[in-house]
Amino acid sequence: MYVAVKGGEKAIHNSVQLLGDVRRGDSSVPELQTNQIEQQLRLAVAKVMNEGALYDPMLASLAIKQASGDLLEACFLLRAYRTTLSRMGYSLPIDTHGMRIQRRISATFKDLPGGQVLGATYDYTQRLLDFSLLDKHQPEQLELSQDNAEAMESILAVFDQENLLESDLPLEGDPDPKDITREPIHFPADRPTRLQNLVRSDEGFLLGMAYSTQRGYGHTHPFAAEIRFGFVNVVIKPDELDFCIDIGEIEVTECQMINQFAGSKDIPPQFTRGYGLVFGHQERKAMAMSLVDRSLRAKELGESIESPAQMEEFVLSHSDSLESSGFVQHLKLPHYVDFQSELELVRRLRQKASEVDHNE
């Protein structure tokens, strides 16, 4: 005789215990340290800080370790922790023109003031497995030149002379951006709201959306005017003080994508912008973000909205990996009651159908 299932609590406890054991793996292999993750898996750390919406390499590394390298799970851990943090205030806007450059390239101009700075990137490597990394090895010590101390003006300044590119200066009376972590997104959403959502959005989702605009679902003709990666200062101005305080620096990647625009009744033909800015070194995400930002401006620029990447409700409502991962995976939870209701319905419909057949 069936007895109603009991013992869920014990089973959960055991599952959690087992998880700790499986996470550790073979105990004869030395345990992974979070500083190793921080130093040697820096791109994973950057992704987790972005989508986890918290700039803290140490905690991001801890999250990656705790999540056995499942980066979406790590983002989730970081976000749940973020909920418990009290908010001290907002920083002033970061100044990316004053960035301490580690890499800066332009695909629109061959040579430019400050030059192309390649930095450390996988872009120019041949993707051959390097079997020498299987063994411990001591890399040659590089003699690095001094950091590029000079701030590099954004390449887009070259357009200023001719007004060929729309301005990115805020209009007079431009309101402070809304904070999407304190006010839920309300549609139609303004651009600062959209950009906040895109920064936190899942890289894979954003990449797919951006790619779709290149394949005819939405029309953009983008050029990567400038991609820069480096350090920027974070500055706060406390209410009670009349001066600014520099509280440290963070690594960011910025992408300025420019797009051809045929012009409209009111605006002469010119180039328009798509903008991407993310924590850490994340060029793929910054580029995808700038493409999607531009395509979401369709309404503002009077373009017809036909493709998913132009539809802000579609993009912004499905971009967050915590939301999508949680809801897709909630299907693992028991659905006995709903399923029972459907089962009963299907049986009755079949019964009815067979009665009808019988009568005919």
Which residues form the interface with another protein (CB under 8 A)? 1-2, 4-9, 11-12, 76, 79-80, 82-84, 86, 181-184, 186-188, 313, 317, 322-323, 325-330, 333-338, 340-345, 348-349, 352
Nearer to another protein, 76 or 279 (CB): 76
Nearer to another protein, 253 or 321 (CB): 321
What is the rounded distance in angstroms from the CA atom of residue 100 to the CA atom of residue 256? Answer: 17
Please report how close the Cβ of residue 46 comes to another protein at its closest, in angstroms. Answer: 19
Please report how close the Cβ of residue 50 comes to another protein at its closest, in angstroms. Answer: 15
Closest residue by Cα to residue 274 from 229, 213, 341:
213
Please report how close the Cβ of residue 123 comes to another protein at its closest, in angstroms. Answer: 34
Nearer to another protein, 86 or 141 (CB): 86
Nearer to another protein, 188 or 269 (CB): 188
Nearer to another protein, 259 or 310 (CB): 310
Enter the tokens of residue 102: 């580690």
Q: 273 and 297 in contact (C-beta within 8 Å)? A: no
Those residues with Cβ within 8 angstroms of residue 358's Cβ, 6 or more apart along the chain or in another chain? none
Please report how close the Cβ of residue 39 comes to another protein at its closest, in angstroms. Answer: 27
Peptide bond preceding 188 in cis form (omega within 30 of 0):
yes
Enter the tokens of residue 247: 């509280």
The CB-based long-range contact list for 292-299 (8 Å cut-off, 24+ gap) reads 292/198, 292/206, 292/209, 292/210, 292/213, 293/191, 293/194, 293/195, 293/198, 294/220, 294/222, 294/257, 294/259, 295/209, 295/213, 295/218, 295/220, 296/191, 296/194, 297/191, 297/272, 298/218, 299/188
Please report how close the Cβ of residue 51 comes to another protein at its closest, in angstroms. Answer: 11
Please report how close the Cβ of residue 326 comes to another protein at its closest, in angstroms. Answer: 3
**Strand 245-261 with 100-105, pairing:** unpaired
Nearer to another protein, 46 or 77 (CB): 77
